[in-house]
Amino acid sequence: MARASKGLLSSEERELLEVIGTGNVQKAGLLLGSKNVRVNCLDEHGMTPLMHAAYKGKANLCRLLLQHGANVNCNEHEHGYTALMFAGLSGNKEITWMMLEAGADTDAINSVGRTAAQMAAFVGQHDCVMVINNFFPRERLDYYTKSQGLDIEPKLPIKLAGPLHKIITTTNLHPVKIVMLVQENPLLADVESLGKCCRVLDLICEKCMKQRDMNEVLALKMHYLSCIFQKCSNFLKEREDELNGLLKSLLKGRDTDGFPVYQEKFIRECIRKFPYCEATLLQQLVRSIAPVEIGSDPTAFSVLTQAITGQLGFVDAEFCTTCGEKGAEKRCSVCKMVTYCDQNCQKVHWFTHKKVCKTLQVHEKQDMEAAKVKKKQEKKGSFILLSAVFKMNEGNISNATSLYVLLLKQKNLIQQLDHPAVR
Ligand SMILES: [Zn+2]
Ligand SMILES: [Zn+2]
């Protein structure tokens, strides 16, 4: 098919672009059936209908356009934007995933040299960054399930490809979660299988670093997973209680504050052992972690997660204390200071949490007391402020009050408007 030229659109094609804006899938479907509509037509800026739909966050229209043969890697846009970049900018995770599944090139760059993941990060769409950085097509793993060259047997038994792919695409990199995923799958949890997975992960890591479009993020993730698998294998060789022993080591908190020292040291060691010491990403990580004392923020886990998934902020209580899973809502009923996904995660953590639970409870009380005192002081402060404003307005109460409200708004103290003088 001849290359579409920019801006030369039939009236039906113009109508299609308009319909995409409204999100009417049925109408778009009818238009795409017309012989006057080319699915990869270009508007004045070199945007295809798929780019428009991705940018506007219309998932159903994206799906429809892909079914009609939309080219996911078209790069006729005036600034070199691709459909994946538009998906990332829109912040729609589903569309971002769809573009990747349709074969979008994650390494394509725009006219100022930015990839889709970098653009999404720039506008704060961290969920999309996470989707892009953790995408790994199953075919890339299936490659290792076939004998290559002189190999007698494939490097990865076909039965391991599914479970390993599940772990490769996970976005929660908490070591406890990864060990739980290994433990869950009887196919994975033996020394021989773990060894095979380690080798394949190391090979993918090497490939990521040596290919023309180097992918440090993916390489680091593969290396990190390989380190955890190796650790699992070591524990299985030595101990009878299998992986529970490893989980305990990873979760055990120190006596003073419950901080999991072994876990912190383990993650730091994984990062240090990354075999490509010239990698920019590695140097950034080492710079962020090296000056931090063990037990202080940021933890190695948060630095690593931020590097690999683009995810920010671990201070929110919504992450599970045990396995790092997002959306944990159950709190320890005694101290209310730790959150868990479910009873299982709480049970696994209790052997070490019980030592600090009481102390945390005291802390929580102290925190509440401190908050009360602060509130009192703020109230006192606003009363002084009100008196001053009142004096300035020479007793004009309505003027003074409105000025006071304005000041409060500015100071974000609006919740204090229950002051008797204002009511
Ligand atoms: Zn959990
Ligand atoms: Zn507790």
pLDDT at position 72 over 70: yes
Which residues line ion ligand 2, judged by CB < 5 Å?
332, 334-335, 357
Of 170, 274, 167, the residue nearest 229 (C-alpha) = 167
Question: pLDDT band at residue 274, thresholds of 50, 70 and 90?
Answer: very high
Query: Mean pLDDT lowest for which of 241-250, 312-321, 333-342, 377-386?
Result: 377-386
Which ligand is nearest the CA of 360, by number? 2
- Give the C-alpha separation, 394 to 271, whole Å: 66
Distance 346 CA to ligand 2 centre (A): 10
pLDDT at position 389 over 60: no
Tens digits of residue pLDDT in 167-217: 998 888 999 999 999 999 989 988 999 999 999 999 999 999 998 778 888
Distance 334 CA to ligand 1 centre (A): 18
Tens digits of residue pLDDT in 6-34: 888 999 999 999 999 999 999 999 999 99
Distance 324 CA to ligand 1 centre (A): 6
24 CB neighbour count, 10 Å cutoff: 16
Exposure class string for 199-210: b at 16+ Cβ within 10 A, else e: ebbbbbbeebbe
Instruction: Give the number of C-alpha atoms closer than 13 A to the C-alpha of residue 324, restricted to the C-beta side.
Output: 23
Which ligand is nearest the CA of 325, by number? 1
pLDDT at position 2 over 60: no
Which residues line ion ligand 1, judged by CB < 5 Å?
320, 322-323, 325, 341, 345
Q: Which residue has the higher pLDDT, 318 or 261?
A: 261
Which ligand is nearest the CA of 340, by number? 1
What pLDDT was estimated at residue 134? 84
Instruction: Give the number of C-alpha atoms closer than 13 A to the C-alpha of residue 369, restricted to the C-beta side.
Output: 6
pLDDT at position 423 over 60: no
When the pLDDT of each residue in the chain is averaged and rounded to a whole number, the result is 86
Distance 317 CA to ligand 1 centre (A): 12
Q: Enumerate the domain spans of the chain.
A: 11-132, 136-307, 371-416
Distance 316 CA to ligand 1 centre (A): 15
Distance 182 CA to ligand 2 centre (A): 28
Percent of the chain with pLDDT over 90: 59
- Give the C-alpha separation, 56 to 406, whole Å: 38
Q: Dig out the tokens for 398 from the structure.
A: 């309505």
CA 231, 236, 242, 245 dihedral sign is negative
Which ligand is nearest the CA of 181, by number? 1
Residue with token string 């060259």: 149
- Give the C-alpha separation, 60 to 413, whole Å: 44
Q: Which residue has the higher pLDDT, 243 or 241?
A: 243
Residue with token string 């001053």: 388
What is 11-132's CATH topology? 1.25.40
Helices (H), 153-276: 158-168, 175-184, 191-210, 216-238, 243-251, 261-272
Distance 177 CA to ligand 2 centre (A): 21
Which ligand is nearest the CA of 345, by number? 1
Tens digits of residue pLDDT in 33-53: 999 999 999 999 999 999 999
Which ligand is nearest the CA of 359, by number? 2
Distance 187 CA to ligand 2 centre (A): 35
What pLDDT was estimated at residue 418? 45
Which ligand is nearest the CA of 321, by number? 1
CA 114, 120, 121, 122 dihedral sign is positive
Q: Output the CA angle 205-272-287, nearest 5 degrees.
A: 110
Which ligand is nearest the CA of 348, by number? 1
